[in-house]
Amino acid sequence: EVQLVESGGGLVQPGGSLKLSCAASGFSFSDSAMHWVRQASGKGLEWVGRIRSKTNNYATAYAASVKGRFTISRDDSKNTAYLQMDSLKTEDTAVYYCTRMTLIPDDFSLDFWGQGTLVTVSS
Amino acid sequence: EIVLTQSPDFQSVTPKEKVTITCRASQSIGSSLHWYQQKPDQSPKLLIKYASQSFSGVPSRFSGSGSGTDFTLTINSLEVEDAATYYCHQSSSIPRTFGQGTKVEIK
């Protein structure tokens, strides 16, 4: 069974940092690209960024709203993806989901999602 | 950035009625369009990938169609459990984007 479990959310002051983790199980994590998507309360889904597999040189990409402030990484030995968030702003307040890209070749859909972790940026 | 625009934003529907949600892309994305269902306090779940392919385990009343810039999600014979917000999502280019969502309420 595919499982994605996020952790690390909490309350942080504007300008502060937070690092989220996404622990994966039930599939070949090292072969999968991992994405982060966020959702502010009562709002829609916003793509944050992604990291590809070792085969694809761990390539990363980010939304313009977080580029230069957020960094996605992964540790395949721990089956875990990370989202390092620096210079946080109040508008970064949201539930953050990790989601995996399907392992089917040439299929870029996001097929399984974690339960999310809440990040609140407030003074 | 590819903008996805869904319509309507909200729909109130009686059980067994047919629901149609559209998603229009600001430029052609081929068939790289996916649909998700999100129920309150839950994470999104994949329903349809690549415009018309049903994801494993999804009830057959959910179907998708379209290509290029215009896409449709259809729910045939709506059930009470289908009350949710539905999002379209494109994987054609980075940054990935989502539609604003369509909330389906049961009358």
Full pLDDT tens readout for chain A, 123 residues: 999 999 999 999 999 999 999 999 999 999 999 999 999 999 999 999 999 999 999 999 999 999 999 999 999 999 999 999 999 999 999 999 999 999 888 889 999 999 999 999 999
For residue B36 the two structure tokens come to: 């998700």
pLDDT of residue A104: 85
Token pair for B40: 């309150």
- Which residues in chain B are contacts of A62 at CB distance < 8 A? 95
Tokens linked to A33 = 């690209």
Q: How far is CA A109 from CA A73, A103, A104, B81, in A?
A: 20, 9, 9, 24
CA distance B90 to A109: 9
Q: What pLDDT, on a 0 to 100 scale, did the predictor assign at position A57?
A: 96
**What is the tens place of the pLDDT at every residue in B41-65?**
999 999 999 999 999 999 999 999 9
**A87 vs A45: CA distance, rounded Å:** 21
Task: State percent of chain A over pLDDT 90.
Answer: 95
Q: Is B49 on the interface with A (CB under 8 A)?
A: yes
User: Which residues in chain B land under pLDDT 50?
Assistant: none
Tell me the nearest-neighbour CA distance from B49 into chain A, angstroms.
Answer: 6
With an 8 Å Cβ cutoff, are A44 and B46 in contact? no
What length is written for chain B? 107
Chain A within 8 Å of B71 (Cβ-Cβ)?
Answer: no
Contact criterion met (CB below 8 Å) for A33 and A74: no
Selected for mutation to probe chain B from A34, A47, A104 (highest B CB count within 10 Å) is A47
Residue with tokens 């529907």: B13
Contacts of B56 (CB under 8 A, 6+ apart): none
Separation in Å, CA of B42 to nearest CA in chain A: 7
